[in-house]
A and B are shown apart, each in its own frame.
Chain A
Amino acid sequence: MTDYLFFILLGTGAGAIIAAFGLGLVVTYQGSGLVNFGYGAMATWAGYVYAELRQGAYPFPIPGLPDRYHFGGDVGIWWAFGLALLTAALMGLLVYQLVFRPLYRAPALAKVVASIGLVIVFTSLIERRFEDNAGLRVDAILPREPVTIMEGVTVPRDGLWLVFIVGLIAAAVWASSRYTRLGLATKAAAGNEKGAILLGYSPQRLAQASFVLASLIGALVVILASPMIQLSSGVFTFGYLIPALGAALIGAFTRVWPTVVAGLAIGLVQSSFTKMQVDFSWFPQYGAREGLPFLVIIVAMVFLGERLPDRGSVAHFRMPAIPPAKVTPLSIIVPVGVAVVGLLVLDPLWRGAIMTTTIATVLALSLVLLSGFGGQPSLAQ
């Protein structure tokens, strides 16, 4: 049992990150009705800003501007912290204003696509701005000396500190949602947006505030966690976001504590798999650790799906009318015939173009079938 306690406690850092990300997703959803798949990528950028400031430069994310402003040396922990968090707040504000506010009346699918676009943008930005040094490692921020919990259970203390800090953040968010005007208005708007408008609250401003707050939470935790885990464009963007989505689902995208506890539990259980894979012959040889978040998501959808909130909205978007397809023998024979003849007689460059076009056509048709006829978006297509 002591052995398992050791492995479980080794997962506190990861669990705290997942819990904080889950909390950020809940805050975003409560304020805006959006599941922001770009949340991890945004937090990662803030982490890079902190790391780069500790090396004496501030990276600009805007293409066309200079890459960096050089301070000439480490700006110090507090300036780096402050500037990185300021960047995160500004990023949350701009992402909402420039990306999601224009999509306020757009269907949910469009917002999902936009949030995935954010993933691509921030991931690419990191790879461009940190091309030669994407794997940044920053000096310790939290105390990391080993602490002995009991005989045979000595673990680094930074993970425990991170749990404590995430707990404090969660408590603050929970309290503000219950006892502050902004928190109550956000909850009210989540339930009945029209009612919030009638009471004089702007749903867009509430959404904007939620984006800023969530961005700050993500940035703070990524900065604190970056000494424990090397910064890279993928680890926070995907590695911790997916389990965080599972945790947020457990919390029905509305409740703070179930989300935080579920996120922490996912991290702890994943860590215990290190020992379980040796102790139990039935334990899956591959995929258990990565599969756990998906299992949580599936279970949450099956058992809680009915109770997941559909955020109130005054926007009633009507899908565009789809004209009936006019398929005639000629509309099939002509393009197919042209393609076949082209493949036989044209030079390699054109043959390549025809093949690429054909493959793209098949992919587009599969999307038409799934999304157009079935009404089912598929990110795996």
Chain B
Amino acid sequence: MNRKHHVRAFAGLTVFALVAASCGSDSDSSSDSAAPAATDAAVEETVADTEPADTEPADTEPTDTAAPDGGEGFVALPPPTGDPIVIGMVNTEGSPGLDFPEISIATQAAADFLNEHGGIGGRPIEMEFCKASGAPETSQACAQELAGKGVELVMLGLDLFPGYDTFTASNIPVTGVLPILPGDYTANALFLGGGNTTTTAAMAAFAQENFGATTAGIVSADNAGANGTEADLKKALDAAGITYVSIKGGDNETDAGFQGLMSQATADDPDVLFSLYADAGCIGTMRGRVLLGIETPVITTAICSSAEVIDVVGDDAVGWYFIGGQTERVGTPEAAAFDAILESLGFTNSTELGLGALGVTGLLTLATIANTMAAGGEDVTGASIFERLGASDDLVNWPEGNALTCGAATTYPTICNFTFPIATYVAGTGIETVPGFEALDTTDFLP
């Protein structure tokens, strides 16, 4: 169970960034959740209050985000007519506590959508799914199975122990959206997101660039996953020259327990707080901060900007900043594609995708790359997509349109994306991108 919790936490960092980036937060800013009386002071606080003194934009300008899939987006493309490309996916499903079928389901929906709208570089997609159970031997068996089925390219779902050696021996290139364990950072693979490593670097970068922070408090759970994230954050803070005090809480804290954590983390009046809690922890820490009258800004992950959290806490989220969060996109080609996929699944809300967002964004990013290659007259194969991605300095991810620069950080050769948007909660409005932080570069702060 703990492992699942950790995996969900890892995944959550990226997933909500991806969903938020494509559709933005769909939290209802008019939520009628009754905020505690003690929230009054915090409700007064607005983004303007926490605007940085130095309003220079972040180092990295956002790449042109207009339809990275080309002009009017996928929805305008005709059905593909080339030879099918077989893409394999290994995903963990079916074990109690380790069951993520939503990734396979959403990936198949994305493939179905692409097969109506341009395919992958003009080639229709045939997905081959293999279920791992979270045990190394099942991942290995999946690698063997997909190799036996002759897939051209593998896109990992949530696979804890990918069979990299088998894929390499079979000349099958491996891509993924989310590196999970340390081995993923040095494997023969390319990941479209950076997972914890880049997220924690973004936290340190934002604290320094937006708040000029020199001191910080950290609150996090005391479990293997959270401790790993905390270790990454500490390294990033060291790189940023920020001193910190770290307070460890439990996995099963009550709201009162979260008050204790927030109280202790702000005992020395730090410039910023970092919260590594997710789900219930988001709610508990947000409420605790307000009830204790703490005004120190808090930086956390986009998982805390989900509709489930914001609907419960309402304006208690004022003063919180979310790595990977972004203003809702409306009327863009990316939003249109996302909406079409959501509709095919019977969803009306992007958060209903859950971890399935990994599959959608991953496959549509690969399609964006392949379409760029096809437009340039290049052959589109699994190997050529992988090679092009690995050597690229001109490709962008979907839907954000941020540069894909695999290996830009030599210590993390498998990571291809090092930028994050940063959002905050604005009373009466909801989740909004912090001006100047549409694409914050994290490379200088990587642990």
Contact = CB atoms under 8 A, between A and B. Distances in A.
- Do the two chains bind? yes
Interface of A: 6-7, 10-14, 120, 123-124, 127, 132-133, 135, 137, 144, 146, 155-156, 158-159, 225, 228-230, 232-240, 270-271, 273-275, 277-278, 285-290, 347-349, 351-353, 355-356, 359
A57 B261 CA distance: 35
B264 A235 contact: no
Contacts of A359: 137
Contact of B148 (A237, A289, A347): A347
Contacts of B144: 348-349, 351-352, 355
Main SS of the interface on chain B? Answer: helix
B321 to A, nearest CB: 22
Contacts of A7: 260, 264
Contacts of A290: 222-223, 250-251
B261 A235 contact: no
A289 B222 contact: yes
A229 B252 contact: yes
Nearest to B230: A286
Contacts of B142: 352
- Residue with the highest number of chain B CB atoms closer than 10 Å, among A156, A230, A237, A347: A230
Nearest to B148: A348
B97 A277 contact: no
Contacts of B5: 234
Given A13-B257, A233-B1, 13 more contacts: A6-B260, A13-B255, A127-B99, A132-B354, A156-B291, A228-B256, A229-B253, A234-B97, A234-B251, A271-B260, A274-B249, A290-B222, A290-B250
Nearest to A133: B308
Contacts of A127: 96, 99
Given A159-B254, A237-B1, A239-B251, A352 B245 contact: no
B352 interface: yes
B147 interface: yes
Nearest to A146: B291
A145 to B, nearest CB: 9
Contacts of A351: 144
B140 A355 contact: yes
B145 A349 contact: yes
A155 B256 contact: yes
Nearest to A156: B256
B411 interface: no
Interface string B187-228: 000000000000000000000000000000000001100010
A233 B138 CA distance: 25
Interface in B115-144: 137-138, 140-144
Contacts of A286: 222, 227, 248
A271 B257 contact: yes
Nearest to B353: A132
6 shortest A-B CB distances, which residue pairs? Answer: A230-B280, A239-B252, A352-B144, A352-B141, A348-B144, A348-B148
Given A156-B255, A156-B259, A230 B283 contact: yes
Contacts of A225: 254
A132 B248 contact: no
A355 B257 contact: no
Contacts of A6: 260, 263
B247 interface: yes
B247 A274 contact: yes
30 contacts: A11-B256, A12-B256, A13-B255, A14-B250, A14-B253, A123-B96, A132-B352, A133-B308, A137-B312, A156-B256, A156-B259, A156-B291, A228-B256, A229-B255, A230-B279, A234-B251, A236-B252, A238-B2, A240-B252, A273-B248, A274-B249, A274-B257, A287-B222, A289-B248, A290-B223, A290-B250, A290-B251, A347-B148, A352-B140, A353-B141
B166 interface: yes
A158 B96 CA distance: 33
A349 B144 CA distance: 6
A98 to B, nearest CB: 19
B267 interface: yes
Contacts of B222: 286-290
Contact of B137 (A124, A232, A355): A355
Interface in B340-388: 352, 354
Contacts of B257: 10-11, 13-14, 271, 274
Contacts of A349: 144-145, 148
A232 B140 contact: no
Contacts of B1: 123, 233-234, 237-238
A348 B145 contact: yes
Contacts of A234: 1-2, 4-5, 97, 251
Nearest to B142: A352
A351 B143 CA distance: 11
B259 A124 contact: no
B99 A14 contact: no
A290 B137 CA distance: 30
B254 A229 contact: yes
Contacts of B260: 6-7, 10-11, 271, 274-275
Contacts of A355: 137, 140-141, 144
Contacts of B255: 13, 144, 156, 228-229
A352 B145 contact: yes
Interface in B251-278: 251-257, 259-261, 263-264, 267
A236 B280 CA distance: 13
Contact of B308 (A124, A135, A285, A356): A135
Nearest to B354: A132
B279 A232 contact: yes
Contact of A229 (B140, B245, B261, B280): B280
